[in-house]
Chains A and B, each alone.
Chain A
Amino acid sequence: MDLLRFITAGSVDDGKSTLIGRLLFDTKNILADQMEAIERASKSRNDGEIDLALLTDGLRSEREQGITIDVAYKYFQTPNRKFISIDAPGHIQYTRNMVTGASNADLAIILVDARHGVAEQTRRHSLIASMLGIPHVVVAINKMDLVGNSEDAFLEIAQTYKDLANKLNIKDLTIIPVSALNGDNIVERSKHMPWYTGETLLSVLENVNVLEDKNTTDGRFSVQYVIRPQTDELHDYRGYAGRLQSGSLKKGEAVKVLPSGTESKIARIEFGGQEIEEATVFESVTILLEDDIDISRGDMIVSVDNSPVVSQDLEALICWMDDRKTLKPGDKYLLQHGTARTKCSVRSIEYQIDINTYEKLDEVEKLKLNDVARIVLRTAQPVAYDAYQQNRANGAAILIDETSNVTVGACMIE
C-alpha cells in the first residue's frame, strides 16, 4: 500500500479543519474515545454543535480562539491508500506554518468559502503551492450549503480560480463543490448537487498517481554521516550514510563526489548492514566507494554522467518567514542545502511577487514576513544543486539566521 501526503490550505475560516475532521469521520477513522472527547469539548462551547475541527485544533489557544495556529498531522487509511493529512492555518500571521506543512505535500486541497469566493489568502496559498511544486491541487469550494448549492455560484468561483491558476505553475487541477460541515462530495456524492458529476474529494485523494511525481532520473546522494566502526574486523570500513534524494545509484556505477569533482566507483551499497544492488529515490542506505577519498557530511555523490550545477552563485524564489527581521541585500545567512551548510550573502532582490496579481514588483528594498520574492545569493562554498521545479529535493534550501538560529527563509533554487 502506498502513502499520500496532503495539506489543506486557504483563507481563515474557509473550513479546512472541518474538512479534515469530516474526511476522517466519514471514512470511520475517528475512534470512539476521540469522538467522545470532541463531543465533550464541543459541548463546552457556544452552540454545542459537534465541531469536527476540534479533531485537529488541539492546542489550548486554538480552542480558545477557534482558529488553527500551527499545522496538525492526522493519519488515516482506506482500503486503497494510507494518508498523512496536514491541516494548515489560514491566518496570514501563521503562513510560515502553512509553508512548513506544504513543503512535503504531494497534494494540496485549497478551500474557498462559496459565499466569499477567492480571497487574498487563497491567492497566497495557491502561489505557495505552485512555488513549492506541489504536483496536484484540488480546489474545494466549500460551504455550498450556504449558497443554496447553486451551480452558478460554483461555476463563477471555479472560473475565477482557473484564471488565477493560469498564471501559476499548477500541473494538475481539480475543482469540487463541497460542504465540509455536511459531508457533501467529501466521501459520499452529494444529494443536494445533482448537477455535479465529477469525482468526490476522497476519490481524487485515492486515485492521484504520486509515483510519477518522483524524480527517478538524477542520481543524487547527500552524505549525512560517515560510518567508521574502527573495530578489528571492520578496521578499514568507511561507509557513507545518506538518502537518495532523487534517481538511483547502482553497485559498480561510476560516480562523482561534489563539490570536489573527484571520481570513483560504487564498491558496495548496504541497507541496514545488508548488501543491496541498487538504491532508489528516498531510500536511506550506506555507500562504499572503491577509492579512498576524503568525503564528509555535506558532500554529494552523483552519477558521473548526470551532474547538478555546482556554483557559488544562485537565484531562488524565497518565502520570507522572520517576523523580527527583514531581508535586505548585503545580509548574511547560513544556507542549508541537502546536508551542507555554508555562509551566504544576499546579492540582490530581483523582484517581489504581488500576492494578488502575481505581478513582479521591481525595486524592492527589503522583504517582510510572508513576502515572496526572487533573490540572488552568493555562497562561501560551492553548492551542488538542481532547479527546484525539476528536482524538489535537490533544489530546496533554507536560510538560517546565525544569531537566533531560527529558520527564516524557504528557498526554491531556479
Chain B
Amino acid sequence: MSNEVSMSISVKEASDLSDQGNIDRRKPDYLDQLEAEAIYIMREVAGQFERPALLFSGGKDSITLVRLAQKAFAPGKIPFPLVHIDTGHNFVEATDYRDMLAEKTGSKLIVRYVEDTIKAKNLKEPTGKNASRNWLQTFTLLDTIEEFGFDACIGGARRDEEKARAKERIFSFRDEFGQWDPKRQRPELWNLFNGRIHKGENVRVFPISNWTELDVWAYLQREGITLPSIYFAHERECILRDGRLLYNTPVIEKDPEDQIVTRQVRFRTVGDMTCTAAVESSAATLEEVIAEITVSRISERGETRIDDQQTEAAMEDRKKGGYF
C-alpha cells in the first residue's frame, strides 16, 4: 500500500459517511462485506460436503478462518475438524496457540507429521542451505486427505499473496491425485459454488480469497483477537543470511557466511521456520503492526518467504502437485 493511503481500522467509521451527503448511511464497511462473503463460503462448505476439514497452520490467516467459522456456526460448534500438517519445524508459539485454540473452540484437532511421511515413504529429506520440508507437506497433506476421506479442505490462502493464487477459484477443484489444473478451472459464477465431485477428488476452499494482508490485520484488530506472541516485536537470536533474518534454530543448517545476531523482530507470516523470515520491528501492538505494514513497500511474501523466491513459477508448480 502506498504511503498516502491511510487504512481505516476503527470498528465502524461513522465519520467515513459524514461527508457523503445524501448517500445511504447504512453503507457497509468493506470488512463487513468481506466477512459476510467468507461466512457464506464456510456455510456452503458445511452444506455441500460430507467431510470437510479446516487446514490450520497457527498463522494469522488460519486464525482468521477459525474466527469466521465460529461466527458462521454460532451458537453451535465448528462442524469440522482443524487439521494441521506439522513439518516438525514449526514455531512453538504457533503450535501452542493451535492447541489452545482447538481446546477453546471445542474443535477436534488432527495433527499429522511430515516426519512420519518421510519415514513411511522413505523420502529423502532435503539438506543444505535453505533446505526446507515445506514442499514435503504436500505428501502428508494428500495422505491425510485420503486417511480421513476429506472431500473439502478449507484453507487461508489469499489471492493477493502470490501471482498463481491470484488466479485460483474460491472452490478450487483437485483431481484424485490432488492436482490443480490452472488451464481447466471450473467456471465459478456469482455466488453459486459447485462443490460436486467424484469419490477421491476434493475441493480446496478459500473463504478469504478476496482479503488482502491488511484486511486480515484490520479484522483481527477489530475482532479483538489475541495472536501468537511472535507476531509482535521481541528480542530473538537470528541468523542473518542474504539480508534476511531467520530464527537461529538447530533445524536450519548453518552456512559459513551466516552471521548470528540478536535483533528486535516480529514475524509477518508464520510458516515453517526454515523458510519464514522475520522483520526488524518495534511494533508491540496490532495497531503498530498495521501502521508499519501500511507504509511498507515490500509485500508479505517478498519480505518473509524464502520458498517462493526459488523460481518464477514456484507456487504454481507446487499447487499443480497438490500443495495447499
Q: Taking beta carbons and an 8 Å cutoff, which residues of A are in contact with B?
A: 1-3, 27-29, 31-34, 37, 41, 55-56, 58-61, 63, 69-75, 77-79, 82, 84, 96-97, 99-100, 103-104, 209, 211, 224-225, 227-229, 234, 237, 239, 241-243, 270-273, 280, 282-284, 286, 297, 321, 334, 336-339, 392-393, 396-398, 400, 405-407, 410
Q: Are A280 and B2 in contact (CB under 8 A)?
A: no
Do A224 and B40 touch (CB < 8 A)? yes
Q: Which of A55, A71, A297 contacts B167 (CB 8 A)?
A: A71
| Residue on B nearest A322 in the bound complex, by CB | B187
- A86–B302 Cα distance when bound, in Å, is 22
Closest to A29 in B: B2
B303 → chain A closest CB, angstroms: 7
Which residues of the partner chain A approach B162 to less than 8 Å between Cβ atoms? Answer: 58
> Which of B72-80, B136-144, B234-242 is the interface stretch?
B72-80
Any A CB within 8 A of the CB of B272: no
Are A273 and B4 in touch, CB under 8 angstroms?
no
Of listed B24, B28, B185, B188, residue having the most chain A CB within 10 A: B188
Question: Across the two chains, which residue of chain A brings its CB closest to B210?
Answer: A84
- Residue B297 is within 8 A (CB to CB) of chain A in the complex: yes
What per-residue 1/0 map shows which CB atoms of B1-28 lie under 8 Å from chain A? 1111110100001001000000110111
The residue on B at minimum CB distance from A61 is B183
Q: Which residues of chain B have C-beta atoms less than 8 A from A70's C-beta?
A: 167, 182-183, 185
Q: Among the listed stretches B86-94, B121-129, B192-200, B224-232, which one makes contact with chain A, having 4 or more residues with CB under 8 Å of it? A: B192-200
A sample of 24 cross-chain residue pairs with beta-carbon separation below 8 angstroms, ordered by A number, consists of A1-B8, A32-B302, A33-B298, A34-B299, A41-B312, A56-B166, A58-B163, A58-B164, A58-B167, A59-B164, A59-B313, A73-B166, A75-B160, A224-B44, A229-B76, A229-B77, A243-B43, A271-B71, A284-B37, A284-B72, A398-B187, A398-B194, A405-B198, A407-B188
Given known contacts A73-B209, A396-B189, is B73 in contact with A241 (CB within 8 Å)? yes
Contacts of A41 in B (CB 8 A): 312
| Contact residues in A for B190 (Cβ distance below 8 Å) | 103-104, 392-393, 396, 398
B159 interface residue (CB < 8 Å to A):
yes
CB of B195, distance to nearest CB on chain A (Å): 9
In the complex, the answer to whether B75 meets A280 with C-beta atoms within 8 Å is no
Whether the Cβ atoms of A99 and B316 lie closer than 8 Å is no
- A227 adjacent to B194 (CB under 8 Å): no
Q: Bound complex: CA of A211 vs CA of B25, how far in Å?
A: 10
A211: contacting residue among B23, B72, B182, CB under 8 A: B23
Which residue on chain A has the smallest CB distance to residue B320? Answer: A60
In the complex, the chain B residue whose C-beta lies closest to that of A406 is B186
Q: Could you list 11 further interchain pairs (A-B, Cβ under 8 angstroms) beyond the known A33-B298, A72-B166, A282-B28?
A: A3-B33, A75-B210, A225-B43, A229-B77, A243-B40, A282-B36, A284-B40, A336-B192, A337-B192, A393-B191, A407-B194
Chain B contact-residue range equals 35 or more
Q: Give Cα distance in the complex from A336 to B37, angstroms.
A: 19
Contact A405 B196 (CB under 8 A): yes
Contact of A270 with B2 in the complex, beta carbons under 8 Å:
no
Which residues of chain A are near B6, meaning CB under 8 Å?
A: 79
Q: Are B187 and A407 in contact (CB under 8 A)?
A: yes
B46 at the interface (CB under 8 A from A): yes
Q: Which 5 A-B pairs have the closest CB atoms?
A: A58-B163, A273-B74, A33-B302, A28-B2, A272-B71
B39 cross-chain contacts in A, Cβ below 8 A = 243, 284
Q: Give residues 184-225 of B contacting A (CB, 8 Å).
A: 185-192, 194, 196-198, 209-210, 212
B47 touches A225 (CB 8 A): yes
A31 near B302: Cβ-Cβ < 8 Å? yes
Hey, which chain A residues are within 8 Å of B297, CB to CB?
31-32
Contact B210 A73, beta carbon cutoff 8 Å: yes
Contacts A73-B209, A211-B23, A241-B72 given: A103-B167 contact, CB under 8 Å? no
Q: Which residue of A lies closest to B8 (CB)?
A: A1
Q: Is B29 an interface residue (CB 8 A)?
A: yes
Q: Which residues of B contact A69 (CB under 8 A)?
A: 182-183
